[in-house]
């Protein structure tokens, strides 16, 4: 009944910009990097408000995290687009040797593009009038973000701005996680 009354839709996320201001891969496989990430999230619902817990943000090269941070909790009102900014840094982040070798190869190419993924994980609850859902986990994955390496004078900008993201809802049924 609630479904037909409220017609819930998932929020949408997209990467609106990603800037890499510094990047250093040291021997054997340690990364120091500073990223400026801007995400846009839209709540398409007329009658549903989303309440997000603090959100962990990771920048991945393949399956290896190269930088991470946390975005504070926020309230996402109905028919609203919210812009989220995060300064994602890594200091002496150790990566496995295969990822380090592949990153070094990317750095030597003429285009010097590094393909990254942006991953967000949090819990969210939906508020529909007097009804409120339990908090459920969501995972957002933005794939296909390619950023060039910075030079000494200016930061590098991602080549895949406004990249749409996939939103997976994870909820528990007894002891099993579905989603």
pLDDT tens profile 80-134: 999 999 999 887 777 777 777 777 777 676 566 788 899 999 999 989 888 888 8
Handedness of CA 69, 74, 79, 85 (dihedral sign): negative
Q: Which two tokens stand for residue 5?
A: 């009354």
User: What length is written for the chain?
Assistant: 179
pLDDT of residue 19: 87
Q: Are the CB atoms for 19 and 155 separated by under 8 Å?
A: yes
Please, what is the average pLDDT of the chain? 83
The predicted structure's pLDDT at residue 155: 67
pLDDT above 60 (res 36): yes
Cα 100 to Cα 25: distance, rounded to the nearest angstrom: 8
- What gap in Å lies between CA 128 and CA 5, rounded to an integer? 10
| Mean pLDDT for the stretch of residues 1-10 | 73
* Residue 160 near residue 145 (C-beta atoms within 8 A): yes
* Residue with more model confidence, 96 or 158: 96
**CA neighbor of 14 nearest in space, from 168, 170, 166:** 166
pLDDT tens column, 129-148: 888 888 999 999 999 888 87
pLDDT score of 134: 87
Distance CA 20, CA 157 (A): 6
Q: State if pTM tops 0.95.
A: no
- CB neighbour class for 89 (10 Å; exposed up to 12, middle 13-18, buried from 19): middle
């Amino acid at each position: 009944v609630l479904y037909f009354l409220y017609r819930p839709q998932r929020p949408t996320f997209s990467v609106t910009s990603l800037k890499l201001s510094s990047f250093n891969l040291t021997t054997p496989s340690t990364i120091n990097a500073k990223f400026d990430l801007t995400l846009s999230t839209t709540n398409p619902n007329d009658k549903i408000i989303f309440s997000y817990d603090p959100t962990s943000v990771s920048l991945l090269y393949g399956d290896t995290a190269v930088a991470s941070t946390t975005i504070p909790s926020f309230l996402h009102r109905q028919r609203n687009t919210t812009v989220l900014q995060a300064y994602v840094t890594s200091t002496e982040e150790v990566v496995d040797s295969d990822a380090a070798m592949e990153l070094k190869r990317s750095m030597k190419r003429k285009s010097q593009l590094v393909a990254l993924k942006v991953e967000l994980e949090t819990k969210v609850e939906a508020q529909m009038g007097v009804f409120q859902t339990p908090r459920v986990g969501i995972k957002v994955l933005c794939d296909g973000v390619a950023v060039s390496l910075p030079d000494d004078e200016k930061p590098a900008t991602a080549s895949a701005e406004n990249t749409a993201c996939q939103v997976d809802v994870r909820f528990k049924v007894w002891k099993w996680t579905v989603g």
